[in-house]
């Protein structure tokens, strides 16, 4: 079986673009597709449209060599990777709109024997739906027995923002195919750059494996967040409590925070709940605990504000995790928006060293400003620390002139 030499990657975001770049620097000619013309323009010039260490070197090398191009139009290839968002609806059911649109976008150019890989984190059996959507658009790609003549597989990403270019290479990968041939072909493609073990299974198991990984983490974070509520009620320092408990050789409690964010951990457990609502009781409860934590934080800020009707509140951090510019599903972002709404005559000073402008929903609130740490500390009546960026860890409250009674520290870095 000959190696695949061409690939089209649909979706040039936090996962699609790194995947496209690393394929393009490892012998595959890649065309990237995105609906955002600004993203296409930046990628075509070798410019990374978001913050991700080391990605710039791979991208500029591939663009300069002509092995990576980008446009808003799909081009024919031997392999197609769909790396588009998979959010959820207001009722917490999966929203597969982007996946379906991507599948239907590649359908016109598919040829028999092509490989379609769904890389987006997805609910169980979504890969089968991709096959159904494409077959509906292209009935000529179905043989006399009703089987697709295109190969379909799922290969969920398992990388950490900030370390994507390293972990794409070193992490083990799970590849699930609708058929064994599809799984093997997908493994062949990822083997061009992945040094980790590539584990083969069926598509539904691969989909569920990624959801299970993130649900496991969500449940453990919920335990830590619930401990923080209990500790506060009992007048115990939760950070000391966890540190002491973790001295047990078989205990490793995670750290609490203002909630859970990011596209994965805050979303993926709901896909399992939706797939088996009567059985996913622990997973549902963990999600509810973590989703409720921002309201608890808002209550602590209200206690610190007291009777002031026009407080100046410094909110440190908007990202969903430390030292990245990724604001997706960030509890900090939601807390800042809610603070602005609850104190309309006050001012919220948002400090996020990794962005140059506020996201739209915050920029549209007239009482929210993007500020530096030093300016915010000097002006604020109350300081709420939401993200433990290095930038914040490097400064102590004493250096910033912040009195302890003015601090709501949700990450424990000043506790």
- pLDDT tens across 138-186, in order? 999 999 888 999 999 999 998 988 899 999 999 999 999 999 999 999 9
Q: 264 catalytic, yes or no?
A: yes
Q: How many whole angstroms separate alpha carbon 108 and alpha carbon 162? A: 36
The percent of residues in the chain predicted with pLDDT above 70, rounded, is 100
Q: What is the pLDDT of residue 1?
A: 58
In the chain, where are the structural domains located? 6-196, 213-409
In degrees and rounded to multiples of 5, residue 70 shows phi and psi of -150, 150
Confidence at residue 161, expressed as pLDDT on a 0 to 100 scale: 83
CB 25 within 8 A of CB 67: yes
Buried b (16+ CB within 10 A) or exposed e, 111-122: eeebbbbbbbbb
Is the per-residue pLDDT at 101 higher than 90? yes
d(CA 6, CA 336): 44
pLDDT at 23: 98
Identify the active-site residue in 187, 210, 293, 411: 210
What is the rounded CA–CA span in Å between residue 172 and residue 195?
Answer: 8
Joined together, the tokens standing for residue 326 give: 């990724």
Give the angle subtended at the CA of 295 by the CAs of 292 and 297, to the nearest 5°.
Answer: 115
Report pLDDT digits (tens) over 380-405. Answer: 999 999 999 999 999 999 999 988 88
Q: How far is CA 67 from CA 22, 26, 75, 105, in A?
A: 10, 9, 14, 22
Residue 347 bridge partners (DSSP) = 312
CB 330 within 8 A of CB 318: yes
Contacts of 396 (CB under 8 A, 6+ apart): 414
Q: Which helix (H) or strand (E) holds 362?
A: helix 360-363
Kind and range of the H or E run holding 385: strand 382-385
pLDDT in tens, 241-274: 999 999 999 999 999 999 998 878 989 999 999 9
**Cα angle at 360 between 331 and 90, to 5 degrees?**
55
Confidence of residue 65 (pLDDT cuts 50, 70, 90): very high
- The Cα 404–Cα 415 span in angstroms is 9
Cα–Cα distance for residue pair 32/40, rounded to 1 Å: 8
In the structure, what pLDDT confidence band is assigned to residue 3 with cuts at 50, 70 and 90?
A: confident
The Cα 209–Cα 380 span in angstroms is 45
Q: Pick from 79, 100, 96: which is nearest to 31 by CA?
A: 79
Please choose, from the candidates 254, 286, 253, the residue with its C-alpha nearest in 3D space to the C-alpha of residue 269. 286
Q: Which of 155, 194, 264, 411 is catalytic?
A: 264
The whole-number pLDDT of residue 51 equals: 82
Q: Rounded to whole angstroms, what are the CA distances from 91 to 94, 282, 304, 328, 409? A: 9, 19, 33, 18, 31
| 4 band by pLDDT with thresholds 50, 70 and 90 | confident
Fold designation for 6-196: Rossmann fold (3.40.50)
To the question of domain 213-409 being in CATH 3.30.1160.10, the answer is no
Report pLDDT digits (tens) over 318-354. Answer: 999 998 888 988 999 999 999 999 999 999 999 999 9
Which region, left, alpha or beta, applies to residue 338 given φ > 0 means left and ψ of -120 to 50 means alpha?
A: alpha
C-alpha pair distances (Å), 193 with each of 26, 109, 124: 6, 26, 27
| Count of beta carbons in the 10 Å neighbourhood of residue 403 | 9
Which of 35, 145, 127 is CA-nearest to residue 81?
Answer: 127
User: Mean pLDDT for the chain?
Assistant: 95
Q: What is the average pLDDT across 108-135?
A: 97
Q: Cα–Cα distance between 260 and 387 in angstroms, integer? A: 11
User: What is the C-alpha separation between 243 and 94, in angstroms, rounded?
Assistant: 37
Identify the burial level of 170 via C-beta atoms within 10 angstroms of its C-beta, where 0-12 means exposed, 13-18 middle and 19 or more buried: exposed
How far apart (Å, rounded) are the C-alpha atoms in residues 398 and 383? 13
The C-alpha atoms of residue 386 and residue 296 are separated, in whole angstroms, by: 13
CA angle 382, 387, 392 (to 5 degrees): 75
| Whole-model pTM over 0.75 | yes
- Residue 100 annotated as catalytic: no
Taking each helix axis as running N to C, give the angle between helix 268-275 and helix 281-305, from 0 to 180 degrees, rounded to the nearest 10.
140
Q: Is 213-409 the same fold as 6-196?
A: yes
Residue with tokens 């006399």: 144
On the 0-12 / 13-18 / 19+ scale of CB atoms within 10 A, 175 is: buried
- Looking at residue 415, its pLDDT comes to 76
Between CA 176 and CA 131 the distance in angstroms is: 14
- H/E stretch holding 28: none
How much is the pLDDT for 200? 98
């Amino acid at each position: 079986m000959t190696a695949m030499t061409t690939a089209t990657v649909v979706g040039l975001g936090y996962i699609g673009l790194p995947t496209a770049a690393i394929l393009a620097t490892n012998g595959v000619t890649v065309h990237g597709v995105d609906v955002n013309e600004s993203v296409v323009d930046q990628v075509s010039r070798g410019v990374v449209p978001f913050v991700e260490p080391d990605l710039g070197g791979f991208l500029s090398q591939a663009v300069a060599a002509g092995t990576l191009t980008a446009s808003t139009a799909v081009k024919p290839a031997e392999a197609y990777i769909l790396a588009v968002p998979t959010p959820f609806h207001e009722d917490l059911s999966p929203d597969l709109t982007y996946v379906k649109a991507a599948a239907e976008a590649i359908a016109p150019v598919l040829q028999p024997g092509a490989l379609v890989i769904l890389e987006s984190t997805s609910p169980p059996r979504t890969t089968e739906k991709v096959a159904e959507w494409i077959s509906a658009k292209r009935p000529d790609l179905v043989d006399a027995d009703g089987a697709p003549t295109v190969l379909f597989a799922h290969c969920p990403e398992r990388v950490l923002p900030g370390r994507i270019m390293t972990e794409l290479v070193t992490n083990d990968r799970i590849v699930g195919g609708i058929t064994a041939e599809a799984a093997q072909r997908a493994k062949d493609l990822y083997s061009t750059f992945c040094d980790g073990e590539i584990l083969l299974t069926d598509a539904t198991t691969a989909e569920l494996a990624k959801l299970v990984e993130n649900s496991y983490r969500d449940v453990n974070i919920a335990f830590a967040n619930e401990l923080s509520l209990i500790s506060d009620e009992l007048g115990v320092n939760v950070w000391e409590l966890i540190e002491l408990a973790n001295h047990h050789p078989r205990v490793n409690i995670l750290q609490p925070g203002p909630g859970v964010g990011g596209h994965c951990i805050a979303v993926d457990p709901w896909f399992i709940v939706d797939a088996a609502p009567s059985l996913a009781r622990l997973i549902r409860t963990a999600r509810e605990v973590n989703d409720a934590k921002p309201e608890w934080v808002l209550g602590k800020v209200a206690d610190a504000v007291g009777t002031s009707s026009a407080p100046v509140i410094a909110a440190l951090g908007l990202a969903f995790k430390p030292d990245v510019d990724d604001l997706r599903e960030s509890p900090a972002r939601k807390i800042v928006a809610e603070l602005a709404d609850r104190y309309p005559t006050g001012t919220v000073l948002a400090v996020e060293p990794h962005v140059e402008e506020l996201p739209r929903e915050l920029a549209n609130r007239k009482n929210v400003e993007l500020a530096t740490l030093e300016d915010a500390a000097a002006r604020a009546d109350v300081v709420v620390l939401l993200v433990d960026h290095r930038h914040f860890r490097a400064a102590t409250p004493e250096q910033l002139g912040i009195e302890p009674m003015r601090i709501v520290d949700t990450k424990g870095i000043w506790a």
